[in-house]
Amino acid sequence: MCVTVRLFARLRDITGASELMRELPEGSTARVLWDTLAREFAELDNYRDAVSTAVNAEYTKMSQVLAEGDEVAFLPPVSGGSTD
Amino acid sequence: MSAPLFSLASEPLKPEDLIQAVGASICTAPLAIGAIASFLGLVRGENLGRRVIRLEYESYEPLAIKAFERIAMEAREHWPKSQLALHHRLGRLQVGEISVAIAVSSAHRAESFAVCRYAIERVKQIAPIWKHEFFEGGHVWIEGAIANPDDDVAREEAYRLACA
């Protein structure tokens, strides 16, 4: 199956892309997708325990099983608001 | 057309839009509103000893709007008759510009002040928004909280600050 990956902020800088397409075995979880990317882009491993996951624009867990066409977003620690 | 309660905007934020939005809200009967409080977050020219030149904000927009809606829903669990509006700026901001604007209407002032504080704390915890700081001599992504809306400890901390 094919999924779309969305990457933001520092994760986008590391991969050099805000959007990637990846082919995964049926039944793969978001964790499998993350591990696939982390093998490709070693620096991502620094975020292994600091990344949040969203599938189709809903927060979820790394254990979520993905489906064909899903949009999976990996989110580094957030920093909205002001600098107060 | 009236301003939305929740938005992400690349144009400068207008606090009066939020005040109008919470004043006209269908969730709170206009005659029941006795107070509106607002909070504006600005780009400060100094951060951790660095002289800040500008910030660039980016967001995962559909999820950020859902996070704002969730924050409003959470706030209403604690302060049932409050109405929240939350606008966040995206893109390139100069020092002194408004990065986030919040307005809250309620029957009495205590709820409006509390929800303003609750909302900004929750934005920092769960809104998928990132700031890239450009300072004299370099630039850095600011990384704060690991976003997890189901983290009850974080939510309780926001509530505690709101009630302080």
pLDDT tens for residues B81-95?
899 999 999 999 999
Contacts of B151 (CB under 8 A, 6+ apart): B125
* ipTM, 2 dp: 0.95
SS3 string, B25-51, reads CCCCCHHHCCEEEEEEEECCCEECCEE
Average pLDDT over residues B42-67: 96
> Among A9, A12, A18, A11, which Cα is nearest to A71's?
A18
Q: What is the DSSP letter of B64?
A: H
Q: According to the model, what pLDDT value does residue B1 have?
A: 59
**Chain A, nearest residue to B58 by Cα:** A9
Average pLDDT over residues A58-78: 98
Q: According to the model, what pLDDT value does residue A81 have?
A: 82
Mean pLDDT score across all residues of chain B = 94
pLDDT at B155 exceeding the cut of 70: yes
Choose the mutation target among B7, B43, B48, B60 for the interface with A, i.e. most A CBs under 10 Å. B60
Rounded-to-integer distance, Cα A11 and Cα B11, Å: 26
Average pLDDT over residues A8-33: 98
Strand-pairing partners, residue A75, are A52
Question: B57 with B99: CB under 8 angstroms?
Answer: yes
A50 touches chain B (CB under 8 A): yes
* Residue labelled with tokens 């899903």: A70
C-alpha A2 chain-centroid distance: 14
Q: How confident is the model at residue B31 (pLDDT cuts 50, 70, 90)?
A: confident
- Asked if the Cβ–Cβ distance from A75 to B147 is below 8 Å, we say yes
Residue from the list A8, A76, A84 with its beta carbon closest to the beta carbon of B41: A84
Where does chain B show beta strands of DSSP type E? 6-9, 35-42, 46-47, 50-59, 83-89, 91-94, 98-106, 129-135, 138-142
pLDDT at B66 exceeding the cut of 90: yes
Q: In what order do the strands lie in the sheet with A71-75?
A: A19-23, A2-7, A71-75, A52-55, A58-60
| Percent of chain A surpassing pLDDT 70 | 98
- Asked if the Cβ–Cβ distance from A54 to B127 is below 8 Å, we say no
Which of A29-43, A69-83, B100-114 is least confident?
A: A69-83
C-alpha A66 chain-centroid distance: 12
Q: According to the model, what pLDDT value does residue B105 have?
A: 95
pLDDT at A66 exceeding the cut of 80: yes
Q: According to the model, what pLDDT value does residue B82 have?
A: 94
Which of A70-74, A76-80, B26-30, B138-142 is least confident?
A: B26-30
The two three-digit tokens of residue B65, written as one number: 């709007």
Question: B98 with B13: CB under 8 angstroms?
Answer: yes
Q: According to the model, what pLDDT value does residue B27 have?
A: 57
Q: How confident is the model at residue B29 (pLDDT cuts 50, 70, 90)?
A: low
- Please give the helix or strand (H or E) that residue A21 lies within, else none: strand A19-23
CA–CA distance from B20 to each of A45, B4, B26, B123 (Å)? Answer: 46, 10, 12, 21
Q: How confident is the model at residue B24 (pLDDT cuts 50, 70, 90)?
A: confident
